[in-house]
Structure 1
């Protein structure tokens, strides 16, 4: 496979095919819900329709497109690295996208300002839709794969592992507070919440390709490392865009914890007070963001991220495989870290 065999045009075609397949699956699910009780049909079917509109609008949005592209192309490129053929991993790309669609719905119901009341019909519909999209559709997809029973069981195991690890990461995210957080504890949460689904996608593609166990483990580690980098980039995007969702939620992000560790005691206390006020004050959020986006902070933050970036590239170098796909996977890492402060990378 030469360098251009899965270049940008081929990737865009693959993304369009995956999105079309995902829409088809969700429409089938919505139709299936029509066979249920009238009240459930109205509630869940309405949530499904809302989901279809919201998710695909998000997927096509300019700021989200690189993230969706990475979700889809990761398993294709891993399968290509193992076999020279990315195409057979298309079902895994669909699984990965369904995972994130479901996770987004669940995230909006946990710790997000303006979320529907947990006891309300709207929240109930979203929970049921998330369970169907993230659990039942992937299960049906895996069961229908033209693969042996052992491979299908391994894919189901990867999917289950990703959800357990991600729930652990989200719980850490919800309960860990800035005064007690450490860079290590934050990264552990990121490995679950963001690293787990990328680990699942990479490992599942490797299993579908027939990779031996130690290579599957290597691809799982690469996926997890990439997912952590994507979460770090999302943190940065939240600040740069002015949304400040993490500040409003009181989330102890890696950048915040890094800033706190760099400050002398008196300034640290000031920063913690400002961070606490940011949950309820727009002006406090803007001021806290300016602290976090300071040039000196960005420089030291970039240095702290270098080992994480080196690990992702190092895993790829160790795994090897089809040269064209491996080069593209390196570009996925570079494209992700190009959004991080202090790392103005020019991505090919």
Structure 2
């Protein structure tokens, strides 16, 4: 049973429609089309089509469709909150997916977690990722049936997203645990994962004709949601047993929280374990046990609660179509509910 203008059944239909649009896009790209340019670009189109098919296969293999659904429904719900018509933001949902298809590969490459093809194959994949995440979305925006001012605003959001995300990723790659703070980690998260969600929300608001103040509010909400999504990603890495963050030496929020609450002597022990965890499975297991200690998790949940409260508070201030705003609150709750082992209490 559906429950409102954009309840769960309507959302499932919309997600299926966007997925079908992505499939059609792949078919057109394979023919060198869908780029808003003249023909003769089968090489880049075919490479992008293959890249996107691989992304879709990876989503299915990893069971990541719930996360994909959130990426799609966010801009639809924001547009619905502004206008009562969610479906009109489908092009923004497509752009959001293209961005993540590209970023997923580039992030894995930066973390040295992706398969490492050599020579020309490696260069081809990187160039294709850049085309998929930056240039193809720009071409799609150019072709939208919107005013020049709206298209310019959408292009601005896409550019802002890339710069903010790269800034966050660079912080993530360079910051080391001994010097990191919870605030510095959150700054990284606001960029690397917050930026694309901010873009999706703000772009949908632009497309809906919202004024600058409301666009900024939706951008802030999207960024807050993206930070919560990154916390979920961190926890899934632990729960899955992959421990890629520890193997990469990444200063995650949970790790830095642990280092913050430990007394000095124990902190030194934890830092030694963290250094050893780059190459030692036993060190990763021991440090994981420290991070998942009940008292640590309890204080971690308390530190995350204001972040959840901020996302809900921004929605309360923004308002809009009641059904869509309710679903946007639900998107926050569903994200938090994916945190393994515990659920931070709402602030």
- Scaled by the length of structure 1, the TM-score of the pair is 0.92
Report the Cα offset of residue 76 of structure 1.
0.2
Partner Cα separation in structure 1 for residue 240 and residue 53 of structure 2: 23
Q: Give the corresponding residue for 1:32.
A: 32
| 1:26 and 1:133 in contact (8 A); partners too | no
Partner Cα separation in structure 1 for residue 239 and residue 298 of structure 2: 16
Q: Give the corresponding residue for 1:144.
A: 143
The 5 Å alignment of 1:7-22 reads 7-22=7-22
| 1:25 and 1:137 in contact (8 A); partners too | no
| 2:79 and 2:89 in contact (8 A); partners too | yes
Q: Which deviates more from structure 2 when the two are superposed, residues 10-19 or residues 60-69?
A: 60-69
The 5 Å alignment of 1:285-324 reads 285-324=284-323
Q: Give the corresponding residue for 2:235.
A: 236
| 2:304 and 2:344 in contact (8 A); partners too | no
Q: Name structure 2 gaps, 5 residues minimum.
A: 34-38
Q: Give the corresponding residue for 2:337.
A: 338
Q: Give the corresponding residue for 2:188.
A: 189
The 5 Å alignment of 1:212-227 reads 212-227=211-226
Q: Kindly report the root-mean-square deviation, in angstroms, between the aligned alpha carbons of the 2 structures.
A: 2.1
Partner deviation per Cα, 1:21-64 (whole Å, 9 max, x = no partner) = 12322333333299469xxx4xx678546523431123335641
Q: Residues 217 and 132 (structure 1 numbering): CA distance in 2 closer, same or farther, change over 3 Å? A: same
| 2:169 and 2:191 in contact (8 A); partners too | yes
Q: Give the corresponding residue for 1:88.
A: 88
Q: Give the corresponding residue for 2:131.
A: 132
Q: Residues 63 and 267 (structure 1 numbering): CA distance in 2 closer, same or farther, change over 3 Å? A: farther
Partner Cα separation in structure 1 for residue 41 and residue 147 of structure 2: 33
Q: Give the corresponding residue for 2:276.
A: 277
Q: Residues 203 and 120 (structure 1 numbering): CA distance in 2 closer, same or farther, change over 3 Å? A: same
Q: Residues 282 and 327 (structure 1 numbering): CA distance in 2 closer, same or farther, change over 3 Å? A: same
Q: Residues 114 and 101 (structure 1 numbering): CA distance in 2 closer, same or farther, change over 3 Å? A: closer
Report the Cα offset of residue 137 of structure 1.
1.5
Partner deviation per Cα, 1:76-127 (whole Å, 9 max, x = no partner) = 000000011101000000010101001011112212245426x622221111
Matched, 1:110 2:101: no
Q: Give the corresponding residue for 2:5.
A: 5
Partner Cα separation in structure 1 for residue 293 and residue 158 of structure 2: 39
Q: What SS does the corresponding residue of 2:125 show, helix, strand or coil?
A: helix
| 1:3 and 1:325 in contact (8 A); partners too | no
Q: Which deviates more from structure 2 when the two are superposed, residues 333-342 or residues 170-179?
A: 333-342
Report the Cα offset of residue 225 of structure 1.
0.2
Partner Cα separation in structure 1 for residue 215 and residue 41 of structure 2: 40
Report the Cα offset of residue 339 of structure 1.
2.3
